[in-house]
Amino acid sequence: MSSALHEQPYLESWRWMSRQIRCAMDPDEPRLIEHYLAEGRYLGCCTATSPWTIAETSFRLLLDTAADVALPWHWRSLCLDQAWRPLRDLERQSLCDCRLKRWQSYAWQLATCELEPSISLIELVQGSPDE
């Protein structure tokens, strides 16, 4: 069996978990993030998928989810709290100047990230006053 065929089910599972995280489909299940990060580590070390790409995608997912005011506060906070993990992986893989600069940019984004309050459920139902 080729590496790509072996990789596909794990990649699909990892992508499905990323959608669950990004959309807060199960915001009361914090283990989903750990499972997602573990699946990414497996993809990075045991398949042809680039570990840098996995870590960068994971970091962006967690930071983007944390910044999404339409999602529940506790889920956003959890995503922000876990964003250091893929950032740490990126630092380990920053073996050239271009990657080091990208890692520094990501580290700065995480260090300066301030979460805005989440939109209340009432505001989500009502929409904006401009409508």
Q: Is the pLDDT of residue 70 over 60?
A: yes
Mean pLDDT of the chain: 90
The pTM is what? 0.86
Q: Is the pLDDT of residue 64 over 90?
A: yes
Question: pLDDT tens across 77-99, in order?
Answer: 999 999 999 999 999 999 999 99
Q: Is the pLDDT of residue 54 over 50?
A: yes
Half-sphere exposure of 48 (CA within 13 A, CB side): 7
Look at residues 53, 69, 68, 72 and name the one whose alpha carbon lies nearest to residue 15.
53
Question: What pLDDT sits at residue 1?
Answer: 44
